[in-house]
């Protein structure tokens, strides 16, 4: 296995906001609290210790959620240690995507596991627990109901609505049958299918299936999964639910931050509603709005006076589901957390929340960008070598990569770069002579230069077209290679699932990630097998 690490600015698929945070651009500094470094964690610990955490309830919830599973020894130890004031969490989160969804689901978890290891070594007087949040409260089923495998899209049709986590796993039977056929009959395929079938058939609710799958994939690493959609955890959040629903501070606080970020050149990620909670029930998750002095649940007949709404929150906090604005507040309220590990898009919307955290009196965690990676399989690596393409070349778009290939392999030089420079020199000399005779003719000279330059560019295009015809087969291979490693022109991690890699490498796939990922290193990892 060859590992190459590239500076993130060399990766064109990343957004400007993502790169700005990675590179610690000064304009973003007011929107986060801690620089990303091991040294900063001492201050995060000091600040978080000033804030009460209901550790007793947290441990009770975790033990009950793991009660029907067979958790690993390290996971059980980590759950018990969360009762200790010297234990802190590091958190990542993701919706319960079908069979984990895109690769970055796995990358998030490995990043948080590795960060916990680093902190244990750097701060041995404290203990650090990697936590993966998977609640399934969201109702955007289309985001999580499919997975891309072997050039096909496997899709789950549940026939239900409401929170994804509450959907019944019985409707997954056709998906599992199709998956079994796709996986084949190898030893690794049988092992993996056994795990997926077990986790997705022995639970009636999808949230529990996704929870167990995440745990089983990392059972030896001490990962603690947590389903935050729990009445006991929502009970801790009651004062903030009341504050948000009844007083609605988030709308103005977050919009002010969004305006400040906009002035600094960074676009909005998630605009707040007047009320940033949903009301959830059986196959239902609907927005809460205030109209004519009443609180109403959209698309239902439910309506509450202010007093009735306050009583409803007090009696049934589990019916209130935070949206993207309030979810970070919720998780930091219930956990002794130091850092959130996420992708560039996630961290961008966290940057809109710092003032809201301050409003609710909750410490704003360190924001750590998860690792990103590209895995180049042996066949692709061999193809790159044959075509004479380097890892650095791959980041060009498809046509740009073709040009790179032709430049390296063309029998004749089709680029007229030198000729264009010579043309520029000739016309500059003519302009110099012309200006001494008649200044009004200078514009005419440059117009002739433009015509001549355009003729050279047209000739250059014809030369490239002719060269392409000579290398037609190789160019098709270049384009196929680009599409394989960058599906749709995007990053592999946002499209491909871990299953094909696991079938080829087994547990070694996860071990390679654990051995090569360092979320504090701020570099893109290229793995060549």
Question: What residues contact residue 166 under an 8 Å CB cut-off, 6+ apart?
Answer: 136, 160, 205, 206, 207, 282, 283
pLDDT at 413 over 70: no
Confidence band, pLDDT 50/70/90 cuts, at residue 124: very high
User: Average pLDDT for residues 378-392, to the nearest whole number?
Assistant: 96
pLDDT at 9 over 80: yes
User: Average pLDDT for residues 88-105, to the nearest whole number?
Assistant: 97
pLDDT at 23 over 70: yes
pLDDT at 101 over 70: yes
Handedness of CA 130, 135, 140, 142 (dihedral sign): positive
Please tell me the distance from the alpha carbon of residue 223 to that of residue 398, in angstroms, as a whole number.
39
What pLDDT shows up at residue 409?
81
Confidence band, pLDDT 50/70/90 cuts, at residue 109: very high
What pLDDT shows up at residue 255?
97
What pLDDT shows up at residue 492?
98
Confidence band, pLDDT 50/70/90 cuts, at residue 364: very high
Q: Is 196 helix (H, G, I), strand (E, B) or coil?
A: helix
Please tell me the distance from the alpha carbon of residue 7 to that of residue 133, in angstroms, as a whole number.
29
Encode pLDDT of 231-251 as tens digits. Answer: 999 999 999 999 999 999 999
Please tell me the distance from the alpha carbon of residue 104 to that of residue 347, in angstroms, as a whole number.
14
Encode pLDDT of 329-343 as tens digits. Answer: 999 999 999 999 999
pLDDT at 310 over 70: yes
CA triple 75-77-78, angle to 5 deg: 65
Which of the residue ranges 48-62, 135-149, 219-233 would you say has the lowest mean pLDDT? Answer: 135-149
What pLDDT shows up at residue 383?
96
pLDDT at 414 over 80: no
pLDDT at 382 over 90: yes
Read off the tokens for 528.
């060549």
What pLDDT shows up at residue 5?
97
Confidence band, pLDDT 50/70/90 cuts, at residue 526: very high
Number of H-type helices and E-type strands within the chain? 23, 15
* pLDDT above 70 coverage of the chain, percent: 98
pLDDT at 153 over 90: yes
Domain boundaries, the chain: 2-236+324-372+508-528, 378-410+471-487, 415-470
| pTM of model > 0.85 | yes
The conformation of residue 33, written as its DSSP 8-state character, comes to S
pLDDT at 466 over 90: no
What pLDDT shows up at residue 62?
98
* Chain mean pLDDT for the chain: 95
What pLDDT shows up at residue 187?
92
Cβ contact 493:107 at 8 Å: yes
pLDDT at 215 over 90: yes
The residue written with tokens 């430049």 in the block is 407
Confidence band, pLDDT 50/70/90 cuts, at residue 412: low
pLDDT at 404 over 80: yes
What pLDDT shows up at residue 20?
97
Confidence band, pLDDT 50/70/90 cuts, at residue 408: confident
Encode pLDDT of 441-452 as tens digits. Answer: 888 988 999 998
What pLDDT shows up at residue 411?
60
User: Average pLDDT for residues 47-60, to the nearest whole number?
Assistant: 97
User: Average pLDDT for residues 216-233, to the nearest whole number?
Assistant: 96
């Amino acid at each position: 296995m060859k590992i190459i690490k590239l500076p993130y600015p060399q990766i064109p698929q990343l957004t400007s906001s993502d790169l700005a945070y990675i590179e610690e651009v000064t304009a973003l500094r007011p929107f986060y609290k801690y620089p990303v470094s091991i040294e900063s964690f001492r201050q995060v610990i000091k600040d978080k210790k000033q804030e009460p955490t209901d550790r007793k309830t947290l441990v009770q919830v975790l033990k009950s959620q793991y009660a029907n599973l067979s958790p690993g020894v390290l996971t059980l130890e980590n759950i018990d240690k969360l009762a200790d004031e010297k234990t802190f969490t590091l958190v990542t989160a993701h919706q319960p995507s079908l069979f984990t969804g895109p690769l970055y689901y796995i990358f998030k978890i490995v990043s948080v596991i590795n960060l916990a290891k680093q902190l244990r070594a750097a701060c041995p007087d404290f203990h650090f627990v990697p936590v993966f949040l998977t609640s399934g409260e969201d109702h955007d089923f289309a985001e999580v109901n499919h997975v891309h495998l072997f050039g096909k899209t496997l899709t789950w049709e549940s026939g239900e609505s409401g929170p994804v986590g509450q959907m019944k796993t019985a409707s997954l039977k056709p998906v599992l049958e199709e998956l079994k056929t796709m996986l084949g009959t190898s030893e690794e395929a049988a092992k993996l299918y056994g795990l997926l079938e077990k986790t997705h058939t022995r639970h009636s609710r999808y949230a529990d299936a996704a929870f167990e799958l995440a745990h089983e994939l990392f059972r030896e690493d001490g990962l603690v999964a947590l389903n935050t959609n729990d009445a006991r955890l929502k009970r801790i959040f009651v004062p903030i639910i009341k504050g948000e629903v009844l007083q609605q501070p988030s709308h103005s606080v977050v919009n002010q931050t969004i305006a400040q970020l906009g002035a600094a050149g960074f676009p909005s990620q998630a605009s707040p509603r007047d009320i940033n909670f949903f009301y959830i029930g059986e196959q239902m998750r609907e927005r809460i709005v205030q109209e004519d002095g009443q609180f109403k649940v959209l698309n239902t007949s439910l309506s509450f006076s202010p007093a009735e709404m306050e009583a409803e929150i007090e009696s049934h906090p589990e019916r209130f589901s935070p949206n993207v604005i309030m979810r970070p507040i919720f998780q930091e309220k219930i956990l002794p957390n130091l850092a959130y590990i996420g992708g560039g898009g996630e961290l961008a919307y966290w940057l809109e929340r710092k003032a809201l955290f301050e409003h609710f009196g909750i410490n704003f965690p360190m924001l750590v960008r998860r690792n990103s990676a590209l895995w180049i399989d042996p066949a692709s690596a061999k193809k790159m070598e044959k075509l004479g393409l380097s890892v650095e070349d791959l980041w060009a778009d498809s046509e740009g990569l073709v040009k790179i290939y032709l430049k390296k392999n063309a029998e004749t030089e089709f680029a007229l770069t030198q000729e264009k420079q010579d043309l520029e020199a000739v016309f500059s000399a003519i302009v110099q002579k012309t200006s001494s005779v008649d200044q009004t003719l200078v514009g005419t000279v440059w117009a002739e230069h433009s015509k001549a330059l355009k003729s050279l560019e047209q000739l250059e295009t014809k030369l490239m077209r002719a060269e392409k015809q000579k290398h037609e087969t190789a160019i098709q291979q270049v384009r196929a290679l680009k599409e394989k490693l960058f599906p749709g022109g995007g990053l592999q991690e946002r499209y491909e699932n871990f299953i094909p890699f696991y079938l080829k490498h087994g547990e070694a796939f996860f071990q390679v990630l654990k051995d090569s990922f360092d979320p504090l290193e701020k570099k893109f990892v290229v793995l060549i097998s």
